[in-house]
Amino acid sequence: MAEGDRPVVVAEGKFLRFMKTGTWEYVSRRGVSGVVTIIAVTNDKKLLLVEQYRPAVESRVIELPAGLAGDGKYRHETLESAARRELLEETGYEASTMAYIGGGCASAGLTDELISMFLATGLNKTGPALGDGDEQITVHEVPVAELIPWLESQSVRGLLIDLKVYSALHFAK
């Protein structure tokens, strides 16, 4: 594959496109302006994590609160607004401070998806964790000092751990 080859749509679904550039194949999201993930730390130093079933890996997964920006009725929202909305939807918490940490590739060999990471502090529980209507989310509030052993216990239970959770430990301290 030569740098500069033009991408071609091979197949298209409702939410994803299967793309090909030269001989390289990858997946691209349709109808979004970005992806956000949130490292949310409570005032008493607990990291908010969500657990939900993910069909692609046929397992429940422990993850940071996260979601899509600019999709559907939120077409014109900023990444920070999406992070605030997703935090509230998935955990029932609002943040007084939502600071952009950085962004990067999710899986550069598989998708063109870029994730923007935010650190949420000054949290206030304002409601239940409802998800977006299709999600069945369990919220976990894990003391930062106990995160690694807690993750190991979840893994023993058969849950998968999203790797971004481990990077969150650096920012949560």
Domain count of the fold of the chain: 2
Two structure tokens written together for 48: 């908010």
36-60 pLDDT tens trace: 999 999 999 999 999 999 999 999 9
pTM of the model: 0.91
Residue 1, pLDDT > 60, answer no
Q: What is the pLDDT of residue 75?
A: 86
Do residue 39 and residue 3 come from a single domain?
no
Q: Which residues contact 172 (CB under 8 A, 6 or more apart)?
A: 39, 41, 45, 47, 144, 147
Task: Please check whether residues 42 and 83 belong to one and the same domain.
Answer: yes
**Structural domain for 14, as ranges:** 1-30
The reply to whether 15 and 78 lie within a common domain is: no
38 with 16, same domain?
no
User: Is there a single domain that holds both residue 11 and residue 94?
Assistant: no
41 SS3 class: strand
| Mean pLDDT across the chain | 93
Q: Are 3 and 40 members of one domain?
A: no
* Shared-domain flag, residues 55 and 139: yes
Question: Which tens digit of pLDDT belongs to each residue from 64-92?
Answer: 999 999 988 888 899 999 999 999 999 99
Position 90 scores a pLDDT of 95
Residues 3 and 79 in one domain: no
